[in-house]
Structure 1
Amino acid sequence: MKLRALALSGVALLAVLPLTAGTAEAAAKCPNGNVCGWTQPNFAGHESDVFQPTSGCNGFDSDARSVSNQQWHRVTVYSDTGCYGEHFDLTQGQYSAKTPWPVKSIAVWGPDQ
Protein backbone atom coordinates (compact mmCIF):
# COMPACT_ATOMS: atom_id res chain seq x y z
CA MET A 1 0.00 0.00 0.00
CA LYS A 2 2.83 2.42 0.85
CA LEU A 3 4.53 1.60 -2.47
CA ARG A 4 1.34 2.45 -4.37
CA ALA A 5 0.99 5.78 -2.56
CA LEU A 6 4.64 6.59 -3.34
CA ALA A 7 4.12 5.74 -7.02
CA LEU A 8 1.02 7.93 -7.21
CA SER A 9 2.93 10.79 -5.61
CA GLY A 10 5.61 10.44 -8.28
CA VAL A 11 3.01 10.53 -11.06
CA ALA A 12 1.41 13.64 -9.55
CA LEU A 13 4.81 15.34 -9.39
CA LEU A 14 5.51 14.56 -13.04
CA ALA A 15 2.16 16.01 -14.05
CA VAL A 16 3.05 19.45 -12.68
CA LEU A 17 6.55 19.71 -14.13
CA PRO A 18 6.94 22.33 -16.89
CA LEU A 19 7.62 21.48 -20.52
CA THR A 20 11.10 20.22 -21.22
CA ALA A 21 13.75 22.68 -22.33
CA GLY A 22 13.86 20.97 -25.73
CA THR A 23 10.20 21.72 -26.42
CA ALA A 24 10.52 25.40 -25.57
CA GLU A 25 13.88 25.67 -27.30
CA ALA A 26 12.60 24.15 -30.56
CA ALA A 27 9.80 26.70 -30.80
CA ALA A 28 11.90 29.63 -29.57
CA LYS A 29 14.75 29.02 -32.02
CA CYS A 30 12.51 28.58 -35.05
CA PRO A 31 10.44 31.62 -36.04
CA ASN A 32 6.71 31.14 -36.52
CA GLY A 33 5.86 30.14 -40.10
CA ASN A 34 9.25 28.51 -40.76
CA VAL A 35 10.86 25.11 -40.91
CA CYS A 36 14.29 25.07 -39.26
CA GLY A 37 17.16 22.61 -39.19
CA TRP A 38 20.39 22.34 -37.19
CA THR A 39 23.52 20.35 -37.97
CA GLN A 40 23.65 18.80 -34.48
CA PRO A 41 21.04 17.07 -32.28
CA ASN A 42 19.13 19.12 -29.68
CA PHE A 43 19.03 22.26 -31.84
CA ALA A 44 22.79 22.77 -31.60
CA GLY A 45 25.55 23.31 -34.11
CA HIS A 46 25.16 25.38 -37.25
CA GLU A 47 21.61 26.42 -38.07
CA SER A 48 21.40 24.86 -41.51
CA ASP A 49 18.07 26.33 -42.54
CA VAL A 50 15.45 28.78 -41.45
CA PHE A 51 12.97 29.28 -44.23
CA GLN A 52 9.36 29.47 -45.29
CA PRO A 53 9.29 26.59 -47.75
CA THR A 54 6.82 26.41 -50.59
CA SER A 55 4.49 23.47 -51.15
CA GLY A 56 6.28 20.49 -52.65
CA CYS A 57 9.86 19.30 -52.27
CA ASN A 58 12.50 21.60 -50.76
CA GLY A 59 16.19 20.87 -50.22
CA PHE A 60 18.21 21.69 -47.11
CA ASP A 61 21.46 23.65 -47.47
CA SER A 62 23.29 21.18 -45.23
CA ASP A 63 22.32 17.97 -43.47
CA ALA A 64 20.11 18.59 -40.44
CA ARG A 65 20.24 16.39 -37.30
CA SER A 66 17.41 18.23 -35.53
CA VAL A 67 14.41 19.93 -37.13
CA SER A 68 11.46 22.04 -36.04
CA ASN A 69 8.23 22.65 -37.98
CA GLN A 70 6.71 25.98 -37.00
CA GLN A 71 4.91 26.16 -40.35
CA TRP A 72 1.17 25.91 -40.73
CA HIS A 73 1.34 22.74 -42.83
CA ARG A 74 2.49 19.18 -42.31
CA VAL A 75 6.00 18.50 -43.56
CA THR A 76 7.71 15.21 -44.35
CA VAL A 77 11.46 15.07 -43.74
CA TYR A 78 13.62 12.77 -45.89
CA SER A 79 17.02 11.11 -45.62
CA ASP A 80 17.85 11.76 -49.31
CA THR A 81 17.70 14.73 -51.65
CA GLY A 82 14.70 15.13 -53.91
CA CYS A 83 12.33 13.91 -51.17
CA TYR A 84 13.36 10.26 -51.37
CA GLY A 85 14.52 7.71 -48.82
CA GLU A 86 13.58 7.20 -45.20
CA HIS A 87 11.02 9.71 -43.97
CA PHE A 88 8.70 10.83 -41.19
CA ASP A 89 6.09 13.57 -40.76
CA LEU A 90 6.05 16.62 -38.52
CA THR A 91 2.79 18.51 -38.08
CA GLN A 92 2.59 22.17 -37.08
CA GLY A 93 4.61 22.81 -33.91
CA GLN A 94 6.27 19.39 -33.87
CA TYR A 95 10.02 18.86 -33.85
CA SER A 96 12.66 16.17 -33.74
CA ALA A 97 15.53 16.91 -31.37
CA LYS A 98 17.55 14.02 -32.83
CA THR A 99 16.64 12.71 -36.26
CA PRO A 100 17.45 9.04 -36.98
CA TRP A 101 19.54 10.13 -40.00
CA PRO A 102 20.70 13.41 -41.55
CA VAL A 103 17.75 15.22 -43.12
CA LYS A 104 18.51 16.31 -46.69
CA SER A 105 15.10 17.43 -47.97
CA ILE A 106 11.52 18.12 -46.89
CA ALA A 107 8.12 18.04 -48.56
CA VAL A 108 5.53 20.62 -47.52
CA TRP A 109 1.93 19.49 -47.78
CA GLY A 110 0.01 22.70 -48.47
CA PRO A 111 -3.68 23.26 -48.88
CA ASP A 112 -3.51 22.41 -52.58
CA GLN A 113 -2.07 18.93 -51.97
Structure 2
Amino acid sequence: MSADPLEEDVMMSEFERSFDTATLSTSIDDLAERDVRADLAIVNRELPPSNHDWQAVERTITQAHASQFSNNGDRTWTFTGQRQRFTVTFDPQTYSDQPSLQFLTLGNPMYKRLSEDYRNL
Protein backbone atom coordinates (compact mmCIF):
# COMPACT_ATOMS: atom_id res chain seq x y z
CA MET A 1 0.00 0.00 0.00
CA SER A 2 0.99 3.53 -0.64
CA ALA A 3 1.88 5.90 2.14
CA ASP A 4 -0.02 8.71 0.44
CA PRO A 5 -3.79 8.38 1.12
CA LEU A 6 -4.70 10.38 -2.01
CA GLU A 7 -2.56 8.15 -4.23
CA GLU A 8 -4.08 5.11 -2.55
CA ASP A 9 -7.60 6.41 -3.27
CA VAL A 10 -6.72 7.03 -6.93
CA MET A 11 -5.24 3.54 -7.32
CA MET A 12 -8.22 1.88 -5.61
CA SER A 13 -10.58 3.89 -7.79
CA GLU A 14 -8.78 2.73 -10.95
CA PHE A 15 -8.74 -0.83 -9.65
CA GLU A 16 -12.50 -0.81 -8.92
CA ARG A 17 -13.23 0.82 -12.28
CA SER A 18 -11.41 -2.03 -14.05
CA PHE A 19 -14.03 -4.42 -12.61
CA ASP A 20 -16.86 -2.20 -13.79
CA THR A 21 -15.60 -2.00 -17.36
CA ALA A 22 -14.31 -5.54 -17.77
CA THR A 23 -16.85 -7.82 -19.36
CA LEU A 24 -16.56 -11.51 -19.79
CA SER A 25 -16.23 -12.45 -23.40
CA THR A 26 -18.55 -15.44 -22.87
CA SER A 27 -21.24 -15.70 -20.25
CA ILE A 28 -22.10 -18.87 -18.37
CA ASP A 29 -25.42 -18.98 -20.22
CA ASP A 30 -23.62 -18.87 -23.56
CA LEU A 31 -21.31 -21.68 -22.50
CA ALA A 32 -24.25 -23.79 -21.29
CA GLU A 33 -26.13 -23.16 -24.52
CA ARG A 34 -23.14 -24.19 -26.63
CA ASP A 35 -22.69 -27.30 -24.49
CA VAL A 36 -26.35 -28.28 -24.87
CA ARG A 37 -26.22 -27.71 -28.64
CA ALA A 38 -23.13 -29.90 -28.91
CA ASP A 39 -24.77 -32.63 -26.82
CA LEU A 40 -27.92 -32.51 -28.95
CA ALA A 41 -25.85 -32.79 -32.12
CA ILE A 42 -24.28 -35.98 -30.74
CA VAL A 43 -27.58 -37.42 -29.51
CA ASN A 44 -29.40 -36.69 -32.77
CA ARG A 45 -26.62 -38.03 -34.95
CA GLU A 46 -27.71 -40.87 -37.23
CA LEU A 47 -26.27 -44.14 -35.98
CA PRO A 48 -24.69 -46.47 -38.51
CA PRO A 49 -26.75 -49.57 -39.16
CA SER A 50 -25.74 -52.62 -37.19
CA ASN A 51 -24.83 -55.80 -38.97
CA HIS A 52 -26.82 -57.66 -36.28
CA ASP A 53 -30.58 -57.28 -36.28
CA TRP A 54 -32.56 -57.91 -33.11
CA GLN A 55 -33.87 -61.24 -34.45
CA ALA A 56 -30.32 -62.59 -34.80
CA VAL A 57 -29.43 -61.40 -31.31
CA GLU A 58 -32.64 -62.95 -29.94
CA ARG A 59 -31.94 -66.26 -31.66
CA THR A 60 -28.32 -66.38 -30.48
CA ILE A 61 -28.99 -65.51 -26.84
CA THR A 62 -32.10 -67.66 -26.40
CA GLN A 63 -30.52 -70.70 -28.06
CA ALA A 64 -27.32 -70.37 -26.04
CA HIS A 65 -29.34 -70.17 -22.81
CA ALA A 66 -32.22 -72.43 -23.85
CA SER A 67 -32.80 -73.77 -20.35
CA GLN A 68 -33.31 -70.23 -19.01
CA PHE A 69 -35.63 -68.88 -21.73
CA SER A 70 -39.16 -69.95 -22.57
CA ASN A 71 -40.91 -68.40 -25.56
CA ASN A 72 -44.22 -66.70 -24.70
CA GLY A 73 -45.11 -66.50 -28.40
CA ASP A 74 -45.72 -62.74 -28.59
CA ARG A 75 -42.10 -61.68 -29.13
CA THR A 76 -41.59 -61.93 -25.40
CA TRP A 77 -39.67 -64.49 -23.41
CA THR A 78 -39.67 -65.55 -19.79
CA PHE A 79 -36.13 -65.58 -18.50
CA THR A 80 -35.51 -67.57 -15.34
CA GLY A 81 -32.37 -66.39 -13.62
CA GLN A 82 -31.02 -66.85 -10.14
CA ARG A 83 -34.20 -67.02 -8.02
CA GLN A 84 -35.92 -64.48 -10.29
CA ARG A 85 -38.10 -64.50 -13.39
CA PHE A 86 -38.23 -61.71 -15.92
CA THR A 87 -40.41 -61.16 -18.95
CA VAL A 88 -38.07 -59.86 -21.62
CA THR A 89 -38.04 -58.87 -25.27
CA PHE A 90 -35.40 -58.22 -27.88
CA ASP A 91 -37.81 -56.39 -30.20
CA PRO A 92 -37.75 -52.56 -29.98
CA GLN A 93 -41.40 -52.25 -31.10
CA THR A 94 -42.61 -54.76 -28.50
CA TYR A 95 -40.69 -52.86 -25.84
CA SER A 96 -42.18 -49.58 -27.06
CA ASP A 97 -45.67 -51.09 -26.74
CA GLN A 98 -44.93 -52.70 -23.35
CA PRO A 99 -42.28 -50.65 -21.50
CA SER A 100 -42.69 -52.77 -18.36
CA LEU A 101 -40.69 -55.53 -20.09
CA GLN A 102 -36.95 -55.91 -19.71
CA PHE A 103 -35.49 -54.79 -23.04
CA LEU A 104 -32.48 -56.97 -23.74
CA THR A 105 -30.23 -54.74 -25.77
CA LEU A 106 -26.64 -53.52 -25.55
CA GLY A 107 -27.23 -51.08 -22.68
CA ASN A 108 -28.95 -53.61 -20.41
CA PRO A 109 -26.64 -55.19 -17.76
CA MET A 110 -28.54 -58.49 -18.07
CA TYR A 111 -27.76 -58.55 -21.81
CA LYS A 112 -24.10 -57.91 -21.07
CA ARG A 113 -23.96 -60.80 -18.60
CA LEU A 114 -25.74 -63.18 -20.99
CA SER A 115 -23.41 -62.16 -23.82
CA GLU A 116 -20.36 -62.79 -21.65
CA ASP A 117 -21.76 -66.18 -20.62
CA TYR A 118 -22.30 -67.00 -24.31
CA ARG A 119 -18.66 -66.23 -25.10
CA ASN A 120 -17.56 -68.53 -22.27
CA LEU A 121 -19.56 -71.53 -23.58
Q: TM-score surpassing 0.5?
A: no
TM-score, structure 1 length as denominator?
A: 0.37
- Whichever structure has more helix as a proportion of its residues is 2
TM-score, structure 2 length as denominator?
A: 0.35
Higher relative contact order (CA 8 A, sep 6+): 1
Higher-Rg member (1/2): 2
